[in-house]
């Protein structure tokens, strides 16, 4: 007759109990063999006759507590030469532990030791290899990875830079001071690694291997360079504008810079004063002179534009700006006094509009990144949705630029068609009015976006804390002229 015994290995909890079916006329020695076969992984390397079996009757509530306080003695041990029926004449009670299995004393420790030895052997096997394949993601503009095989004993930072150049040729690596920083992508290692030399780099790679990390993200950090050092092809490469090695202005999407109507009396007075001032300058300062001469004309336009909005804007020549990819003075900055916004104006030198547009783009990125940083410092939960504007001119030809962030935090640039002013001609007044109208429209846009973002911030702040009353600190908007 067969019976079912509920068994448990000593030291385990009720959750590890397992049933064994055996005939009553079989010996306890047979029961040991059945138990070993049932738990062959647990008793790997242990002979069946080395197991000790104890008859117990543990049931009811709090079984785990009973197991913890159980005291075994020799009278309860099952003898290998006795039949099962000598211990269980009737069917064993249900929902009880009937047999406690005790392995040899050395088994638990030896299994743990073997597990550790296996892990060490696996680690040694990993480290004995020299070459490993990693999946590398380059931040922030790339989301897909590329395969990079490296010798973790003698890999160099320059090796990885060269591979990144072959894959993407990012402009940031053209900077001699470019620094690589790393973060793993699988959650096993959240630390940001900044290896200072090749030795530290190899050490980091070996740590990744030992932790089973095969994918990581590379951040390329560069000390910014002077705005004047940027060329048009390098800027197009930096911001991924087109794919040509010799790009043209067509890589910029068109920017529709509208023209404000200046028909009211106040605007007409400012316009007439501007035209008169420009005509006076033509008498004494050649428009086709050097950069300093042209700057006199440009300044007149900017002053007139700011005067259209009395008390709201301030013109700041040679304003210093520092951003992720550039630093230095902006020829003119038109700052909205309530905020930190800037319309930047870049003066073209030697009729090189390509270089002027390149400089203005990096200046606008710098102004926008500074605004975003300040917005994040003021309100962590707010979503920054901003744009800045730039003007590129030599006083005779005028371009207008827009720089903004899309919903994935990527920079987007737009460039207007050029507008020309023919001085000392019949059309001069109309040309001047058109340029001033465009400047006026830009300054209106600056104020609109500022008002919208401030109201949005106030909604976010109010939702975050109704009890917090904070002074309204507004940033300043800048129009950058190049």
Residues 337 and 204 in one domain: no
Higher pLDDT, 123 or 109: 123
Residue 468 — pLDDT band, cuts 50, 70, 90? Answer: very low
Lateral strand order in the sheet of 131-139: 146-151, 131-139, 215-221, 179-184
Residue 466 pLDDT > 60, yes or no? Answer: no
Asked whether residue 257 is domain-assigned, the answer is: no
Residues 277 and 400 in one domain: yes
What pLDDT does residue 436 have? Answer: 98
Asked whether residue 200 is domain-assigned, the answer is: yes
Q: What are phi and psi of 399, to 5 degrees?
A: -115, 150
Residue 57 — pLDDT band, cuts 50, 70, 90? Answer: confident
What pLDDT does residue 458 have? Answer: 38
Residues 286 and 397 in one domain: yes
Residue 272 — pLDDT band, cuts 50, 70, 90? Answer: very high
What pLDDT does residue 449 have? Answer: 56
CA–CA distance, 428 with 406 (Å, rounded to integer): 39
Are 97 and 63 in contact, with CB atoms under 8 Å apart?
yes
**Residue 413 CB partners (closer than 8 Å, separation 6+):** 239, 241, 252, 253, 361, 364, 401, 402, 403
Higher pLDDT, 406 or 195: 195
Residues 121 and 159 in one domain: no
Residues 166 and 276 in one domain: no
Asked whether residue 469 is domain-assigned, the answer is: no
Residues 52 and 198 in one domain: no
pTM exceeds 0.75: no
The predicted model gives 448-466 an average pLDDT of 42
Of 396, 399, 373, 398, residue with least CA distance to 386? 373
The predicted model gives 283-304 an average pLDDT of 94
Higher pLDDT, 463 or 238: 238
Residue 33 pLDDT > 70, yes or no? Answer: yes
Q: What domain range includes position 14?
A: 2-126
Tokens representing residue 319 in the block: 């304003």
What pLDDT does residue 218 have? Answer: 94
Residues 322 and 391 in one domain: yes
Query: How many CB atoms neighbour CB 454 within 10 A?
Result: 15
Residue 109 — pLDDT band, cuts 50, 70, 90? Answer: low
What pLDDT does residue 453 have? Answer: 45
Residues 41 and 70 in one domain: yes
Asked whether residue 171 is domain-assigned, the answer is: yes
Query: How many CB atoms neighbour CB 218 within 10 A?
Result: 17
Three-state secondary-structure class, residue 342: strand
Q: Domain boundary at 192, 223, 254, which?
A: 223
Residue 141 — pLDDT band, cuts 50, 70, 90? Answer: low
Q: How many domains does the chain have?
A: 3
Residues 281 and 338 in one domain: yes
Residue 469 — pLDDT band, cuts 50, 70, 90? Answer: very low
Higher pLDDT, 378 or 180: 180
CA–CA distance, 99 with 52 (Å, rounded to integer): 10
Residues 135 and 122 in one domain: no
The predicted model gives 309-317 an average pLDDT of 94
Residue 32 — pLDDT band, cuts 50, 70, 90? Answer: very high
Q: Domain boundary at 101, 126, 151, which?
A: 126
Tokens representing residue 465 in the block: 């804390």
Q: At what angle do helices 157-167 and 198-210 cross, to 10 degrees?
A: 80
What pLDDT does residue 269 have? Answer: 98
Q: Poorest-confidence range of 223-227, 301-305, 424-428?
A: 223-227
The predicted model gives 152-181 an average pLDDT of 86
Q: Poorest-confidence range of 50-54, 137-141, 458-462?
A: 458-462
What pLDDT does residue 353 have? Answer: 96
Q: Poorest-confidence range of 161-165, 188-192, 428-432?
A: 188-192
Asked whether residue 161 is domain-assigned, the answer is: yes
| β-strand partners of 181 | 219
Asked whether residue 244 is domain-assigned, the answer is: no
Residue 186 pLDDT > 50, yes or no? Answer: yes
Q: At what angle do helices 198-210 and 105-128 cross, to 10 degrees?
A: 140
Asked whether residue 421 is domain-assigned, the answer is: yes
Q: Domain of 96: which CATH number?
A: 3.10.20.90
Asked whether residue 456 is domain-assigned, the answer is: no
User: Residues 208-235: pLDDT tens digits?
Assistant: 988 889 999 999 887 778 999 999 999 9
Q: Domain boundary at 172, 200, 223, which?
A: 223
Residue 385 — pLDDT band, cuts 50, 70, 90? Answer: low
Residue 381 — pLDDT band, cuts 50, 70, 90? Answer: very low
Residue 93 — pLDDT band, cuts 50, 70, 90? Answer: very high
Arithmetic mean of pLDDT over the chain: 85
CA–CA distance, 330 with 313 (Å, rounded to integer): 16
The predicted model gives 381-389 an average pLDDT of 67
Residues 119 and 143 in one domain: no
Percent of the chain with pLDDT over 70: 84
Residues 146 and 197 in one domain: yes
């Amino acid at each position: 007759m067969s019976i079912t015994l509920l068994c448990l290995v000593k030291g385990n909890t009720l959750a590890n109990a397992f049933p064994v079916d055996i005939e009553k006329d079989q010996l306890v020695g047979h029961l040991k063999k059945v138990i070993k076969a049932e738990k062959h992984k647990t008793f790997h390397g242990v002979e069946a006759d080395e197991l000790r079996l104890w008859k117990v009757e543990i049931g009811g509530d709090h079984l785990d507590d009973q197991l913890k306080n159980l005291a075994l003695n020799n009278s309860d041990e099952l003898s290998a030469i006795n039949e099962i029926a000598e211990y269980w004449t009737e069917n064993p009670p249900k929902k009880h532990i009937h047999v406690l299995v005790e392995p040899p004393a050395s088994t638990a420790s030896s299994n743990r030791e073997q597990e550790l030895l296996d892990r060490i052997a696996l680690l040694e096997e990993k480290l004995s290899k020299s070459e490993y394949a990693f999946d590398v993601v380059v931040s922030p503009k790339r989301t897909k990875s590329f395969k990079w095989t490296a010798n973790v004993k003698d890999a160099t930072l320059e090796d990885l830079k060269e591979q990144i150049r072959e894959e993407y040729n990012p402009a940031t690596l053209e900077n001699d001071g470019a620094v690589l920083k790393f973060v793993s992508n699988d959650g096993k290692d959240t630390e940001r690694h900044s290896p200072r030399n090749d030795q530290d780099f190899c050490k980091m790679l070996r740590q990744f291997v030992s932790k089973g990390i095969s994918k990581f993200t590379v951040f390329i950090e560069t000390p910014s360079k002077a705005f004047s050092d940027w060329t048009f092809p390098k800027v197009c490469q930096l911001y991924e504008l087109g794919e040509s090695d010799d790009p043209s202005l067509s890589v910029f999407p068109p920017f529709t810079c509208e023209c404000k109507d200046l028909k009211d009396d106040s605007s007409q007075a400012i316009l007439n004063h501007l035209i008169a001032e420009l005509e006076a300058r033509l008498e004494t300062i050649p428009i086709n002179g050097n950069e300093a001469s042209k700057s006199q004309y440009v300044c007149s336009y900017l002053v007139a534009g700011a005067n259209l909005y009395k008390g709201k804007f301030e013109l700041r020549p040679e304003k210093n700006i520092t951003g992720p990819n550039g630093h230095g003075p902006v020829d003119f900055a038109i700052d909205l006094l309530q905020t930190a916004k800037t319309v930047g104006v870049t003066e073209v030198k030697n009729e090189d509009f390509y270089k002027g547009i390149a400089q203005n783009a990096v200046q606008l990125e710098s102004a926008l990144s500074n605004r975003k940083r300040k917005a994040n410092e003021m309100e962590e939960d707010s979503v920054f949705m901003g744009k800045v504007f730039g003007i590129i001119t030599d006083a005779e030809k005028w371009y207008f630029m827009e720089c903004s962030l899309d919903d994935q935090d990527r920079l987007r640039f737009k460039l207007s068609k050029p507008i020309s002013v023919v001085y000392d001609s019949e059309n001069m007044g109309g040309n001047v009015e058109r340029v001033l109208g465009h400047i006026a429209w830009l300054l209106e846009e600056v104020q609109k976006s500022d008002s919208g973002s401030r109201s949005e911030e106030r909604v976010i702040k109010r939702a975050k804390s109704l009890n917090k009353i904070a002074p309204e600190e507004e940033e300043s908007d800048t129009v950058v002229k190049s």
